[in-house]
Amino acid sequence: MRVVLATRNAGKIEELRRILAGIEVVGLAGYPDAPEVAETELTFAGNALLKARAIAAHTGQAAVADDSGLCVDALNGMPGVFSARWAGRHGDDEANLKLLLAQLADVPAARRGAHFACAAAVAVPGGEGRVAMGRIDGRIIDAPRGTGGFGYDPIFVPDGESRTTAEMPPAEKDAISHRGRAFRALAKILPEVTG
């Protein structure tokens, strides 16, 4: 089975190839004219479906997409769907981290609960599309630690762990991550949608 992953994010492509072992995952590098799909929905599921449908229509192949983000309790669930552009420019991980840590500067450790959420969607040209969800709970620390992962991984410590997700080996992170959970659930329904 082959699916087009609706992203140009190399870290995400690598991660999903590990998670979706046995399924050929190709990114948008082979589709330079693929549209940049604006994430205009207000939910992770809505954005994931929007991207999967657009890329399926453009490529004529089954497409998978996700939308994910960090939801911080002390910030009423934000940055949420705005996680990748929290500091204003899409994908500026360093600026996003700095802004989030500044916003939590006066929040005590006991009130720094957070979770990562992920909606993974699959769509085929002209099809309805399906979504699977994944979540991992944890807390935000005061300063970044670790060099693995991407995004908010250096400041997120999963429940029951002392390491950030950026300090975990990739396979270990994949086993518990929101994206891993969502895409493993999606892998179970891919044959139904693409069959």
**β-bridge pairing 2-5 and 24-26:** parallel
Task: Give burial (CB, 10 Å; 0-12/13-18/19+) of 25.
Answer: buried
User: What are the residues whose beta carbons fall under 8 Å from the beta carbon of 31, sequence distance 6 or more?
Assistant: 4, 55, 58, 59
Per the residue annotation, which of 66, 67, 93, 174 is the catalytic one?
A: 67
Overall residue count recorded for the chain in this entry: 195
Concerning whether 93 is annotated as a catalytic residue, the answer is no
DSSP per-residue codes, 2-24: EEEES---HHHHHHHHHHTTTSE
Q: What phi-psi label fits residue 81: left (phi over 0), alpha (psi between -120 and 50 degrees) or beta?
A: alpha
Cα distances (Å, whole numbers) of residue 151 to 12, 83, 133: 10, 9, 19
List residues with catalytic annotation. Answer: 67
